[in-house]
Chain A
Amino acid sequence: MSAVTLVLATVVLGVGTYAFRVSGPLLRSRVTLSAEVERLMAVAAVVLLTALVATATLVQGHGFAGFARLVGVAVGGVLAWRRAPFVVVVVAAAGTTAVLRLLGVP
């Protein structure tokens, strides 16, 4: 693939992504939304992030991501639920997964 094509593709992806990002703030700077719509937007962000957590934990490509990652995230989730410090949650999740992989768990 030529350099020009790569630059062009990168710029198109960048501009498109920025268009997604800027639409909300752009509209918001012009119109005021009702309290109901604002509430829906806030919940929508939580719904999207939760869906992202689910897929990032369980899915790789179109298949199952493996038990090592699932168990690691689960350990982190339980710790977070019990209000452990954020650092503990993240390090425990990554550490658990790394150790499981070291032991040969896929």
Chain B
Amino acid sequence: MRSTWRTLQQRLGRELARDIALVCLADGIVGLSFGAITVGAGLPLWLPMLMSVVVFAGASQFLFVGIVAAGGNPVAAVAAGLLVNSRHLPFGFAVADLLSGGRGRWLAGSHVMIDESVAFALAQRGTGRSKAAFWACGTALFVCWNLGVLLGAFGGAAITDTDAFGLDAAFPAVLLALVLPSLRDPATRRAALVGAAVALATSPFLAAGLPVLLGLVGLLALRPHERRSPR
């Protein structure tokens, strides 16, 4: 464990390794609550663990469990979860380059493609660093998330209200800090702000997941020459 940490620090740099570790800790605690809440709602002990390995996407897992625990239709729960996860399709095109290097790499790398690993990759300069950040964040989060869920499922009601720790504010703050460097480019910033406005304006009416996807409308705010110019 200690030697793994040391190798990571050498490859990523002390600072980036520490940042990723912090996000892992925060998400591990959220995983703890996911396990506890799911079992607390009367669902089987294996469900949160199976979901966290097979689906590995927090927001959709909470949504799924919320619908099923309330006696909702499983088809509706799956549809709602898929809608929330649809943003991984455009994410996949954005980070595809980082997953090159053989079939095994992109097959495995795709599964650890989540908001945080994409954001950490985008925040780095140079393909080598982006690649290292994506893989380190993705695999570390997979381990921490599943570990948290496992402990939460068995440990029960120790932590069910992560809002009390402000962890619901930590998630957007993490993504904001990672996305800010990209927003220093004026064209990207304009597209992103239009996208955010569209997502917010449609949130009261549309099912979760759709507003964020509709945010892609912001790309229309790019002028033709801005679509070509490298940053």
- Asked if A47 and B166 make an inter-chain contact with CB atoms under 8 angstroms apart, the answer reads no
| Of the residues A41, A52, A92, A94, contact of B87 by C-beta under 8 Å | A52
Does B60 lie at the interface of the complex (its beta carbon under 8 Å from any beta carbon of A)? yes
Chain A: CB-nearest residue to B195: A47
Which residues of the partner chain B approach A58 to less than 8 Å between Cβ atoms?
A: 200, 203
A103 at the interface (CB under 8 A from B): no
Q: Interface digits, B37-76 against A, CB 8 Å rule (1 contact, 0 not)?
A: 0000001100100110011110010001000100000110
Given known pairs A21-B111, A41-B93, A101-B164, the reply for A73 and B173 (CB within 8 Å) is yes
CB atoms of A44 and B106 under 8 A apart: no
Would you call B169 and A12 a contact (CB within 8 A)? no
B170 CB to closest chain A CB (Å) equals: 4
Produce 1/0 per residue, A11-28, CB < 8 A to B: 111101110111111111
**Complex Cα gap A14–B64 (Å):** 12
Most buried by B among A24, A40, A57, A59: A24
- When the two chains form their complex, are residues B23 and A90 in contact, meaning their CB atoms are under 8 A apart? yes
User: Which of B4-12, B143-151, B152-160, B211-219 forms part of the interface with chain A?
Assistant: B211-219
Contact A3 B23 (CB under 8 A): no
Task: Evaluate contact between A14 and B173: CB separation under 8 angstroms.
Answer: no
Bound: A97/B95 CA distance, A: 32
Contacts of B78 in A (CB 8 A): 9, 12-13, 16
Are A45 and B122 in contact, with the CB atoms below 8 A? yes
Type the 1/0 row for A25-41, where 1 means its CB is closer than 8 Å to any CB of B.
11111000001100111
Interface string of B167-204 (1 = CB under 8 A from A): 11111111111111011000110011101111110011
What's the interface size class on A, roughly? 35 or more
Pairwise interchain contact B91-A18, C-beta atoms closer than 8 A: no
Q: Which of A67-106 contact B (CB under 8 A)?
A: 68-69, 72-73, 76-77, 80-81, 85-87, 89-99, 101
Given contacts A22-B106, A48-B216, A90-B174, contact A98 B164 (CB under 8 A): yes
Closest chain A residue, CB of each to CB of B167: A94
Residues in A with CB closer than 8 Å to B122 are 42, 45-46, 49
> Is A45 within 8 A of B94, CB to CB?
yes
A72 touching B64 in the complex, CB below 8 Å, given contacts A18-B110, A46-B183, A52-B87:
no
Given contacts A17-B81, A43-B192, A63-B204, 15 further A-B contacts (CB under 8 A): A6-B68, A16-B82, A17-B85, A23-B92, A24-B95, A24-B96, A39-B230, A41-B90, A46-B192, A51-B192, A51-B215, A57-B169, A72-B173, A80-B177, A90-B170
A-B contact pairs, 7 of them (CB 8 A): A13-B81, A20-B92, A41-B96, A51-B199, A55-B212, A72-B173, A86-B19
Interface positions of B (Cβ within 8 A of A): 15, 18-19, 22-23, 26, 43-44, 47, 50-51, 54-57, 60, 64, 68, 74-75, 77-78, 81-82, 85-97, 99-100, 103, 106-107, 109-111, 113, 115, 118-119, 122, 163-180, 182-183, 187-188, 191-193, 195-200, 203-205, 211-213, 215-216, 218-219, 222, 227-231
